[in-house]
Chains A and B, each alone.
Chain A
Amino acid sequence: MADDVQGVVVARNLTKVFRDFWLREKVTAVAGLDLDIRAGEVFGLLGPNGSGKSTTIKMILGLLYPTRGRVAVFGRLPTDVRIKADIGFLPEESYLYPFLDARETLDFYGRLFRQPRRQRRRRVDMLLDMVGLGSVAYRRVGEYSKGMQRRIGLAQALINDPQLLILDEPTSGMDPIGTRQFKDLIRTLAMRGKTVILSSHLLADVEDVCDRICILYGGRQRALGRMDELLSKEDFTQITTERLDEPSLESLRRVLAASGRELLQVSAPRDKLESLFLRIVQEAQEQRLSTGGAVSGGVIAEFLRPDRDQTHNVLAGLVSVAEAKAPTDTQEVASSQAAAAQRKTEVLRDLVEPEKTTSALQPQGDHKDASPTKQPDRGLLDELLGGPKNNPEKS
């Protein structure tokens, strides 16, 4: 199979049939699935319960064997031990050893990678800080809440700085802060060229971080493609501006009517609950209120970060993406509301001064290559806002 392998994970006609004791075919969990997951991409596996996501992941990991078809990881069979040094896996629940504490847990998994003691200790410390469990590192994992167990589960998946990270329902049971940090981490890893396979029910998480997705139903592939291709609505344009009074709205309707279009929806945008929650928790943490649970952590372990030169680019990238996201980003919550208002003003000024380009016109998205594939109708905007009709270099 190695000769036709281009991606990190390649599956052809992957099929898993579950048989009963008498070897009668009971259910087809995965049917004829073809996958090409390339290096450096964040790939989402979506589907309702029982659609075959976990079965697919377990076949990729060699925990289940295909009934038909084949799958290769790094060009080798999934059962090949050599490939596993480059794989990190977080199962759908954190199946950890309850009698070990967090530090022992990570140390144990580090030993399985034959990591030297010094490196193992350093990584364990960094990972514990990253997932915010440094202060409860000597508590048994069995005493942890589900979310804390997810965090330590994530840490064990990262102990080897994997090239391929497979995450099955990674944010289930995690609090919004952990979810947010987790998404930031995936972005960082993707920037370092790591490949991430993400299976989740939480569509918002997938939407935030994935480059490509595959939607499964009944074990069969129903959709496969880039996130922006699948989600863009080519027939609609959305404009966000300061609150408009009725006369302004009326004039908008008139402009639109003149070009034969209709104003379909007018509404005031609401702040996201995630943003509100993050703000409250952050305030509590700033006041150093005590908690027996996980703290924010969030400093990505050094060995998982890009190297020094790359760091500036990554940070710059993160900042630019974060700025483009307006009110939903953690960093923005940390900044003052005045800054947000300032940005909003700038966006509006850009809108009313069409000779200046603005990133706010680009679709809101987190991922690094979320460049707009759909451009707003500049002609209509110019007409709406009274700007020049042809200014292609500013589009």
Chain B
Amino acid sequence: MRGIWAIARHTLSHCLRMKIAGAFVLMLLAILAVLPMILQGDGTLAGRIRTLLAYGMGVTGLLLSVVTLLLSVGVITSDVRAKAIFTVATKPLSRWKYVIGRWLGVVVFVGILLVTSAVTIYAFAQHLRTGEALNPSDRRAVETEVFTARRQVRPQPIDIDTLTERKRRQLQDEGRYQEAMKAFVAQTGGDEQKARSLLEEQIRSQVAGTAQSVGPGGVFLWQFNGIAVAGNKRTAKGQVTLVDEETASLRILADDELLGSLVFGGPVRVNGVDLRVTRLEKEFFEVQPSADDRAGGRLASLVSGAETDIVADPTIQLSYKAAASVNPTDKLLRSIWQLDNPATGFRYMELRSDPVATPATMTVSARLVDPNGRMDAQYVNLPDSQGKGTSVTILENDIAVLFRMGSFEGTFIRGTVMILLQLAFLAAVGVAAGSFLSFPVACLVGLATLPLSMAGGFLRESLRLNPESGPATDALTLVGAWIFRVVRVGLPDFAQTSPVDSLINGMNISWEYLAQAALLTGVIRTLAILVIACLIFQRRELARVQV
């Protein structure tokens, strides 16, 4: 290990003196300073912070990827070109240790740059967090949708297979299936197998679309499993300080600890009544009980100066996006949400108006989740203000229950480690290319890896080289498919494993996910490439015959 570390130290020293570190930090600071000013996102504070995180981490990842490739390619090729390798290879140091040492040195160097960058971005984000939010909803989004680490569960998937089978039988009974087959056979030039495949696909697609849409007055039903509620219930005493009859709101003074566990728009129990926080300040919060509760219910005794029991439950969030087949005139979709705890029967209902095709989030009490982590949700599609209705579509991937799993800081650190794993992989590619190619050629190979890793999925779609789409028909496609297969196995999909989306959406990056990425990218792929690099370098002649 001492030999490896000696080479790694030397590489680090080399990189630090190349002034690339200073240039990078200056560039990053300039970008981070300018970005929040020129990119306001949607104008909200949450949007600005998301923009900072997305562009900051994105730019950092991209810049460091290029820096990593250039450095890792250069560390070995420059030694061979300048013949400094003569004095190193004649020392008692195995060549594989030299290769690993060079790789390690580059990884440590870019790791330092990455940490510098991440700390800077984090500091900028925290600085923005202290800024003024556009409205309470904006503040709530900042705290509960950005500076958090949530996990999401999707509803139980629709049983498309059964529905498709049912639809097929129906069509066959009606004789329409046979008619459609004839049309498809004619379209495919007599290839019955292909025609059947196309027809089945179409039925399946139609069934999936229908299952995820409801007409006016229709109802969606979802069942969620695996919801893990974090945090404990908080109970405290509060004092009613203001009763506003005009707005029918109560202002309640409470201690910091309780106020810290409430969220704007989130649930709170006052005197045993489930209410929603309509205003949240440093020293008090406000609720708007219904007239029934105020008139004769459990809140009737609450007058100014009265003391009351307050319970703040842990919360979960329901996130969804509804699309309309025809846009309502006011572009708002009206709905009733009904959430049920299947074990206790505890129910929560809310009337909502959401902009069309815009992500919406409801924060609700975690009491809706039973001890097995289950919750039922129901969506009723209401007609608009003029009594007209439209068909509403909520795709399976557009609805989820989110619950807090950890801290933003933990996710930020794990996300940074994931970027480091990507950089370590790229460093291995660069070192491998530099172990037998000249600098320009190795650079070309290394830089070609970057778009393939970052946009592998997109390229696969655009090149129509999806290996699952069936056998290739011509030689070129066949060769392309094979190349892509090799690339897909050898290269990690950075787009899929990028932590940026998780960070800006306040989603948790779990240790398990990190370990999986570390195993696939960091251990298997990186190690395999390093082994190849070591084998090549072990066997190559390091000098040239000069006669």
Closest beta carbon of chain B to A114's beta carbon, Å: 5
Chain A nearest CB, measured from B511 CB (Å): 36
Partner among A27, A85, A96, A111 whose Cβ is within 8 Å of the Cβ of B87:
A96
Q: State the CA gap A100–B6 with chains docked (Å).
A: 14
Known: A84-B92, A89-B90. A97 touches B547 (CB 8 A): no
Contact across chains for A81 and B93 when beta carbons are under 8 A apart: yes
A64 contacts B87, CB within 8 Å? no
1/0 contact string of A320-349 vs chain B (CB within 8 Å): 000000000000000000000000000000
CA distance A390 to B547 in the complex (A): 56
Shortest Cβ distance from A27 into B: residue: B547
Q: Chain A's nearest CB lies how many Å from the CB of B487? A: 27
- Asked whether A114 lies within 8 Å of B3 as measured between CB atoms, the reply is yes
Please tell me which one of the listed residues B84, B86, B92, B547 contacts residue A63 in the complex, with CB atoms under 8 A apart.
B86
Instruction: Report the Cα distance A153→B86, complex, angstroms.
Output: 12
User: Nearest Cβ distance between residue B96 and chain A, in whole angstroms?
Assistant: 10
A-chain residues with CB within 8 Å of residue B90 when the two chains form the complex: 61-63, 84, 87, 89
- Residue in contact with A112 in the complex, picked from B84, B92, B546, CB distance below 8 Å: B92
Measured CB to CB, the nearest residue on chain A to B83 is A95
Interface contact B83-A91, CB-CB below 8 Å = yes
User: Nearest residue in A to B539 (C-beta to C-beta)?
Assistant: A65
Partner of A16, one of B14, B84, B93, B545: B545
| A222 contacts chain B at the CB level, 8 A cutoff | no
A112 close to B83 (CB less than 8 A): no
Chain A residues positioned under 8 Å from B2 (CB to CB): 111, 114
A108 touches B543 (CB 8 A): no
Q: Are B94 and A63 in contact, CB atoms less than 8 angstroms apart? A: no
Q: A82-B92, A89-B87 are in contact. Are A111 and B547 (CB under 8 A)?
A: no
CB distance from A57 to the nearest CB of B (A): 9
Give the distance to chain B from A103, nearest Cβ to Cβ, in Å.
13
Q: Chain A residues near B93: list those with CB within 8 A.
A: 81, 84, 112
Judge if A113 is at the interface, Cβ distance under 8 Å. Answer: yes
Chain A nearest Cβ from B28, distance in angstroms: 23
Q: Chain B residues near A18 (CB, 8 Å)?
A: 545, 547
Shortest CB-to-CB span from B87 to chain A, Å, is: 6
| Shortest distance between the CB of B2 and any CB in chain A (Å) | 5
B250 to chain A, nearest CB (A): 70
Does residue B455 face the partner (Cβ distance < 8 Å to A)? no
Contacts of A84 in B (CB 8 A): 90-93
Beta-carbon contacts under 8 Å, A74-96 to B: 81-82, 84-85, 87, 89, 91, 93, 95-96
A95-B80 Cα distance, complex, nearest whole Å: 10
A219 in contact with B547 (CB, 8 Å): yes
CB contacts (< 8 Å) of A104 on chain B: these are: 13
Q: For the complex, is B88 an interface residue (Cβ under 8 Å from A)?
A: yes
Let me know if B351 is at the binding interface, CB within 8 A: no
Q: Indicate with 1 or 0, residue by residue over A12-48, a CB within 8 angstroms of chain B CB atoms.
A: 0000101000000001010000000000000000000
Q: A27-B547, A54-B546, A112-B6 are in contact. Are A95 and B84 (CB under 8 A)?
A: yes
**B88, A99: Cβ atoms under 8 Å?**
no
Q: Point out the residues of chain B lying under 8 angstroms from A112, CB to CB.
A: 3, 6-7, 88, 91-93
Query: B87 to A50, Cβ gap below 8 A?
Result: no
- In this assembly, does A195 line the interface, its C-beta being within 8 Å of a C-beta of chain B? no
Measured in the bound complex, the distance between the Cα atoms of B91 and A85 in whole Å is 6
CB closest chain-A residue, reference B88: A112
Q: Are A93's CB and B91's CB within 8 A? A: no
Measured between C-beta atoms, what is the minimum distance from A157 to chain B in Å? 8
- Interface residues in A99-153 by Cβ distance below 8 A to B read 99-100, 104, 108-109, 111-114, 153
Q: Does B89 have its Cβ within 8 Å of any Cβ on chain A?
A: yes
CB of B105, distance to nearest CB on chain A (Å):
12
Q: With A and B bound together, what is the CA distance between A51 and B545 in angstroms?
A: 11
User: Which of B13, B18, B92, B94 has the most C-beta atoms of chain A within 10 angstroms of its own C-beta?
Assistant: B92
* Alpha-carbon separation in the docked complex, A86 to B7 (Å): 20
B88 surroundings in chain A (CB, below 8 A): 112
Judging by beta carbons under 8 Å apart, are A55 and B6 in contact? no
* One of B84, B91, B94 near A96 (C-beta < 8 A): B84
Determine whether the beta carbon of B545 is less than 8 Å from that of A55: yes
- Cα separation A18 to B90 with both chains bound (whole Å): 22
> Who on chain A is nearest to B540 by CB?
A65
Smallest beta-carbon distance A4→chain B, Å: 25
Question: Which one, B84, B86, B91, contacts A97 given CB within 8 A?
Answer: B84
Q: Does A354 contact B (CB under 8 A)?
A: no
> How close is A174's CB to chain B, nearest CB, in angstroms?
18
Assess the A65–B541 pair: CB atoms within 8 A: yes
Question: Does any Cβ of B come within 8 Å of A178's Cβ?
Answer: no
Interface residue? A253 (CB, 8 A):
no
Q: Tell me if A95 and B94 are in contact (CB < 8 A).
A: no
Q: How far is the CA of A58 from the CA of B9 in the complex (A)?
A: 27
Contacts of A62 in B (CB 8 A): 89-90
**Complex partner residue of A29 from B14, B17, B89, B547, CB under 8 angstroms:** B547
The answer to whether B331 has its CB under 8 Å from any CB of chain A is: no
Which chain A residue lies CB-closest to B15?
Answer: A99
- Cα distance A101–B237 when bound, in Å? 70
Are A91 and B87 in contact (CB-based, < 8 A)?
yes
**Complex interface: chain A residues within 8 A of B542 (CB):** 63-64
**A111 & B92 in contact (Cβ 8 Å cutoff):** no
CA distance A111 to B4 in the complex (A): 10
Which residues of chain A come closer than 8 Å to B6, judged between CB atoms?
A: 108, 111-112
What are 27 residue pairs bridging A and B, where the CB atoms are less than 8 Å apart in the complex?
A: A16-B545, A27-B545, A27-B547, A55-B547, A61-B89, A62-B90, A63-B89, A63-B90, A63-B542, A64-B541, A81-B93, A89-B86, A89-B90, A91-B86, A97-B10, A97-B14, A99-B14, A99-B17, A100-B13, A109-B87, A111-B3, A112-B6, A112-B91, A113-B91, A113-B92, A114-B2, A114-B92
Q: Which 7 A-B pairs have the closest CB atoms?
A: A111-B6, A112-B91, A18-B545, A63-B543, A95-B83, A84-B92, A85-B92
Q: A27-B547, A114-B2, A153-B87 are in contact. List 9 more A-B contacts (CB 8 A).
A: A29-B545, A55-B547, A63-B542, A81-B94, A84-B92, A89-B90, A91-B87, A99-B13, A112-B92
